[in-house]
Amino acid sequence: MRHVLSVIVENKSGVLARVAGLFSRRGFNIDSLAVGATEKPEFSRITLVVTGEDLVIEQITKQLYKLIDTYKVTDLTAAKHIEREMILVKVSINANNRSEVIEIVDIFRGKIIDVSDKNMTVEITGDYEKNEGFLSLLKKFGIIEIVRTGTVAIQRGTGN
């Protein structure tokens, strides 16, 4: 099962290496990883998307907690949460299919940020399923390049 883990760590050099090293050392796969400072500058948040059985996720969580620089690990999957990922995608177009691509971009509320005779670059933001749906519709036109930020996520409501 796909899990989104939100990990609060000390905002200092080397912490990302510890987290990444832990995953490679223990043979865990990372589907995506996004990192940035939080509202408190002394902390960073690492949002990890990992796929695995519950026991594996439990082990990942415990191993993350074992890192001295880790404050909190939250598995957002079980809680109500919002996920977003931004994707920049460059797709081939021609005179015949250009309007069809624009239509799809509109439906998904994407933004066209660059366009030429032969290709178009689209910015899209959404959760995993929306983004995957969008990309699958673009496939037939010929995707030249995809750049993704990795998923970030936040819990719904006012609680922490």
The contact set with other proteins (CB under 8 A) reads 9-10, 14, 17-18, 21, 25, 55, 58-59, 62-63, 65-66, 68-71
Q: Which two tokens stand for residue 148?
A: 């993704």
The residue among 62 and 156 lying less far from other proteins, judged by its C-beta, is 62
Task: Give the integer Cα–Cα distance in Å for 17 and 12.
Answer: 11
In the complex with other proteins, which residue's Cβ is closer, 64 or 152?
A: 64
Q: Report, in Å, the least distance between residue 56 CB and other proteins.
A: 11
CB of 54 to other proteins, least distance (A): 10
Between 65 and 118, CB nearer to other proteins: 65
**Per-residue DSSP letter, 11:** -
Nearest to 7 by CA among 48, 39, 38: 48
d(CA 131, CA 100): 18
The distance of closest approach from Cβ of residue 27 to other proteins in the complex, given in angstroms and rounded to an integer, is 13
Q: What is the DSSP string of 25-56?
A: HHT---SEEEEEE-SSTTEEEEEEEEE--HHH
Q: Which is nearer to other proteins, 71 or 128 (CB)?
A: 71
